Amino acid sequence: MAPHVHRLSGYASQRLVSLFDMLARKYNKLAEMKNDKMHVPNGESKEENSLQEDMAAELHIYTDFLRIVLEILNAILTYSLPRNPEVIYAIMHRQEVFQPFKSHPRFNELLDNIFMVLDFFNSRMDAQKMDGEWSVEKVLQVIIVNCRSWRVDGLKMFTQLRFTYEQESHPEEFFIPYVWQLVLSRSGLNFSPSSIHLFPADLPLQDNIGEEAEKPQKGDMKGNELKIEVPV
């Protein structure tokens, strides 16, 4: 959806950059811990070796998270920059958080685009002659005006992110018993538990009302039929 974002709010834009900052601080902390462990003399125990492997795996996860955020920012700047001045402002306001990763082999291409945008708008800001201090409104106005002259030609184009939702086979085996168990425990209707074969209902109905229904497991399935007796 990032290429189609239109007028992302200031709060959402700042949260997106803050997310990168939070992930970056966690990444840097893990990287420092990993480097410290690598300088420990030989003769490490199995527990220490296992800890290093866990840290390396976690570091790889945070690397992927950081790249995803950068890809989202790149998609916005590449395909919808003129429609998102708040994103540009948020990146300019916190541009120092991107600097440490400029030469990182996993991020350098993505950050090249971001710094190209920063250089363009920073130069436009420097060219402005302002009396007094800059305000948020004044900075945004400069950004909006210069968005009209922005050209995307110099940016490197990346493949747009694609995510798919994969549903488990036969989801009804979970949802049908679960929904009916919620109905039994919370509806207040007088069902007969002894006639229910879709999930275990050994306890009296009055003991189940108000309690949170437990999620049924596939192994608990006894059939696809639910027998209900409702008093007339």
Residues 74-95: pLDDT tens digits? Answer: 999 999 999 999 999 999 999 9
Rounded distance between C-alpha atoms, residue 25 and residue 101, angstroms: 11
Give the tens place of pLDDT for each residue, 106-141: 999 999 999 999 999 999 998 887 777 889 999 999
User: What is the tens place of the pLDDT at every residue in 196-209?
Assistant: 777 776 544 444 44
Q: What percent of the chain has pLDDT over 90?
A: 44
Indicate if the alpha-carbon torsion angle 38, 43, 46, 48 is positive or negative.
negative
Give the whole-angstrom CA distance, residue 89 versus residue 144: 10
CA distance 118 to 80: 16
CA gap 70, 16 in Å, rounded: 10
**Domain ranges (residues) in the chain:** 2-154, 172-220
What pTM value is reported for the model?
0.65
The predicted pLDDT at position 12 comes to 95
